A and B are shown apart, each in its own frame.
Chain A
């Protein structure tokens, strides 16, 4: 691997850029939701409290790590080291700056697979403890994953078939021209976008799908027994998940305007992708602020009775629209 690639992986648009983004998105979430709730949100650290998530992260790093003797601490440490890595790795395939560090035909499937594994790792976090709250939270998380994951995979295939590629970079490049050339495609595209957002909301565990860590029912769900450094890394993991979800959704469904052909254009296209990610998160956080938590049974009902059939419906609608000209001619 040459030096340039190494810098890309470690600094921009790789590891460091992603962590900065994660911290920024955490602030964005807190500030946005706070303003929607007529609160101030973070104000003290930095410009309008922009450094507050970083301050929280550093503070947690210095706190005492209380190790629960009934828990499997080695397992927990391993999970918390592997899980953020998985998201950073899958983000290498997503055009965070308009272009991707690594790319091959079929990386969409790899990224979907990795993100599923990362969600499953959270289940292990709850399962390593012998507390009834973490157990119940972990069980709920597993049920939730079973609900949203299938829908998410089916829906991610909609833009893939529209752009006729399984490579995320190619999809984000071709999606706008594909939809413009056949405006009928907007129907399954819009359908899939809304449903995909719901599935991603469940992945992020935000309201109305914050069931696995429902504060007023299960204390903190599967997170209950974690503290100190481990909690800091779990928070970082959740923030990286936010980065992954926003950029992944934006690159699959929004298309690109600026193509990163030169150094200046790379900056322009990174800003473009960043704004699109903020838009995705804005929609998700508006839903989060406007809704109550639902029960796990309601979630399974919603996903298995409506969202999964609807996602297969939009997929088949797409096939019909794609095949229609061939049949008619």
Chain B
């Protein structure tokens, strides 16, 4: 007989940097069941996108996720370009790759630091974030801002880079590579870190494919799946790189995929800078686009990101649909909590690099009849206050 009790993780909890609720059924310290509830930070961005024009939506989609902002703008502009049949100049494609990879490096170093902090290893957290600052500086140098810079635009990019910036970037990349190699050694060899991460949340290759895991989560489970390699966009068809995979299928493998991808991204940027073609960086695009439908897939730092745009021949999209990687990964990872202890929850959760604000979806369902409803804001308010 078990005496399972409910332990609530969230919506507010120090291990969660964004509000989301996990209801764990725990027997002593062992988790016997888990229930994920998303929807605490729903922002209605897809609906808002319908009221803004195509250019304004670049700034909106950028704010879906602050950390992988470049992936979101890139995906969105590619979807619009796909819809309108716009051909982007070669130089713009390479610049998109450079900024996209810089964004990936910063995101990966960030989550590696957060993982260390969640395991109580503040020193490694501080070191990783200190080393990440160099990348933030070159992102600012190239795009004009540390985080949200709206570098990509429909038809190309908004800024060019010159030789001085190139030199600066190469110098910083050398330093970041050295630092990352140091951190790789530390994370590979530290016995206490391994103790906490190895064999945690094992997601078998078969399960990862069945549950549609994407990105580093899938590649940590030895799934050969990377949008950059298998459905190349921007200039990825011309740039050689390896798809990093780990056979261990656990939290540790998922984190090590990120370390190795950081090194791989540095090589991609070096190659792109070396082979940067000349010419224009953007083509002019009219504000009113023809009716149509466009889809784009991008390998965001957290995994495959999809933007789907409909247009009825207007300055605004008729509908914008976004599927973010965490939405796929969180369902894949949820069953792996079972059998572990409460102390392992942060270690498993952080390994998918959760980003909940991009994940949240909202549908009103009458639980008794199973009917899906549409409610306006006024109706929701009235229902809330009448409770």
Contact = CB atoms under 8 A, between A and B. Distances in A.
A binds B: yes
Contact of A296 (B14, B15, B121, B343): B343
B117 to A, nearest CB: 8
Interface size class of A (residues with CB under 8 A): 20 to 34
B127 A219 contact: no
Nearest to B341: A295
A214 B120 contact: yes
Contact of A216 (B124, B192, B346): B346
Given A208-B120, A292-B119, A293-B119, A216 B195 contact: no
A297 B14 contact: no
Nearest to A293: B120
Interface in B5-62: 5, 7-8, 13-15, 29
A208 B121 CA distance: 9
A217 B121 contact: no
A36 B119 CA distance: 18
Contact of B341 (A37, A215, A293, A297): A297
Nearest to A136: B342
A289 B342 contact: no
A70 interface: no
Interface in A285-310: 289-298
Given A38-B130, A216-B346, A289-B122, A294 B195 contact: yes
B345 interface: yes
A292 B118 CA distance: 9
Interface residues of B, number: 30
Contacts of A296: 29, 343
Contacts of B204: none
A216 B14 contact: yes
B203 to A, nearest CB: 20
A217 to B, nearest CB: 5
Interface in B129-182: 130
A210 B117 CA distance: 13
A74 interface: no
A182 interface: no
B271 interface: no
A239 interface: no
Contacts of B117: 216
B145 to A, nearest CB: 25
Given A291-B121, A292-B196, A294-B196, A37 B343 contact: no
B67 interface: no
B14 A208 contact: no
B121 A207 contact: yes
Given A214-B120, A292-B124, 16 more contacts: A38-B130, A132-B8, A136-B342, A207-B121, A208-B192, A215-B120, A216-B15, A216-B118, A217-B15, A217-B346, A289-B123, A292-B120, A292-B196, A294-B196, A295-B343, A298-B195
Which 3 pairs, one residue from A and one from B, show the smallest C-beta to C-beta distance?
A293-B120, A292-B121, A37-B126
23 contacts: A132-B8, A136-B342, A207-B120, A208-B120, A208-B192, A211-B343, A214-B343, A216-B15, A216-B119, A216-B346, A217-B15, A219-B13, A291-B121, A292-B116, A292-B193, A292-B195, A293-B120, A293-B343, A294-B192, A294-B196, A295-B196, A296-B29, A298-B195
